[in-house]
Chain A
């Protein structure tokens, strides 16, 4: 977060959408296919203008839907092109089937998800229900707290995707980041070229060397026409899970290397702020994890030793990192802007699961906040933590169900 004085010249005031478009441009993406939707629209507008002006040698494919946008990205990726798309909310939901196809085919497509609430009822404002509803598709998911992290993580996303052969979703808050200007340190094209070499796929679809992709695959392994024993469906799916688990290493090493080159390290899958000596951890995702730092400062001024864990990477879920970060805490208060209806907040479940079997006595309490653009202020986060703490100390905390911060 510290401004880098050496790179003062490159610091620009950018909103999140322009940061995302610029990130894709710096990665020299070769195919862009996207369909406009609020609040992502300015990303598609910016990229189509960049391509139109000849500043980026790319095919900009206009499509009639998000489903087709992802189908185009999938096909383009299969022939070895670096591909990019962006969407929000209902657009992402409409892509759902193709998200599975792209992950199952192990294609390094990068998608910017500008987080927006999902209907019904209609709402164009921010929450994380759209991307959190896609967490089981096999995509890597990274979340940005500010516009710098949008740009930086899109650049890293291609390195990670092309190393792990997994698609990556870079998610950021609609409006509060997508439409808010803030200083962003923009690296030079040369520096990004040095970090991200051109994409060379290990296998491409090529008419001179015909291959089949995604055949009907039976439950059990079986011999192909050449007599080679090939994986069944389940073995292929096992490899997808294994790739996601292994990608944690790639995400950390790419983030470390990015830090060495650009001065902003992403070596951890988490953001940890004021966690040293903390006995209470606020856990949050996206821009909320930044607002939570202000809340933790307020709590510290009141003598409550609070810190913040920001879930930078949500898939693969950094279980071991969360566990390590929570060492020494007696309470984790998780603020979710998405919910698995009928259960609890998305990150709350994950946090509890990470602690399972460790014998900890730590309490985990979840709040549902900020759905559909409902404003969440630092003082409200601090207040919720204080309330939880007082119930915990009286032994009266019930964490069976999430607590909603709303008027009901």
Chain B
């Protein structure tokens, strides 16, 4: 892990956007658990606060730091924004506060240069929906992309090791489910497309 992630003693901040039921909160928690497992002294994960409804836009956040995290307010300037449903990009607030040096990571079939999002941050895309459909990563008939997208996050950032994410998944799920999710993470990690800016 590079010390560059933690310049000016700020935690590294990831904001997750998805729709209720897609598992944005679980993804935020899994990433924080993986960071904690990797020995980082500070890791927090929270849902967006208040009522949540299936299908409605939701967000969640992960903060990671080598030091205990003292900040409990909401993320203002994320270092990374992960979008589980590309239709959410219509709302400008999704990339709100994402600046130079940041990462936008989107679940979409499109490559980064055809995403149509303008900003001076780097962009990564992965077709987690197709990967999860093919592998059968589903809950109650719905494709669930949250764990797969952790593969894309690991690909663009060395902040949290892929091995630690996989270990959290192994602890969390039963054998068959764990294997499915790990396969989705691995394939998403491998097929993530990256466009660095500037």
Q: Which residues of A contact B (CB under 8 A)?
A: 1-3, 11, 13, 124-126, 146, 173, 175-177, 179-183, 287-288, 290-291, 293-294, 297, 373, 375-378
Contacts and interface: CB of A to CB of B under 8 A. Distances in A.
15 contacts: A124-B51, A125-B50, A126-B49, A146-B68, A175-B50, A176-B46, A180-B46, A181-B33, A181-B46, A183-B41, A290-B70, A290-B71, A291-B70, A377-B73, A377-B74
Given A2-B68, A294-B70, A13 B76 contact: no
A173 B76 CA distance: 20
A183 to B, nearest CB: 6
B70 A11 contact: no
B45 A181 contact: yes
B136 interface: no
A13 B36 contact: yes
Q: What 8 pairs between A and B have smallest CB-CB spacing?
A: A180-B46, A175-B49, A181-B45, A377-B73, A176-B72, A3-B41, A287-B72, A182-B44
Contacts of A294: 70-71
A154 B47 CA distance: 25
Contacts of A124: 50-51
Nearest to B10: A294
B73 A125 contact: no
Contacts of A378: 71, 73
Given A183-B43, A378-B71, 17 more contacts: A1-B68, A2-B68, A13-B43, A126-B49, A146-B68, A175-B46, A179-B47, A180-B44, A180-B46, A180-B72, A182-B44, A288-B72, A291-B70, A291-B71, A294-B71, A297-B9, A378-B73
B138 interface: no
Nearest to B33: A13
B117 interface: no
B43 A125 contact: no
B104 interface: no
A128 to B, nearest CB: 14
Name the residue among A124, A177, A181, A375 with the largest chain B CB count within 10 angstroms. Answer: A181
Contacts of B43: 13, 181-183
A378 B74 CA distance: 11
B29 interface: yes
Contacts of B109: none
B148 to A, nearest CB: 21
A373 B49 contact: yes
Contact of B76 (A146, A180, A373, A377): A377
Contacts of A1: 68, 70
B81 interface: no
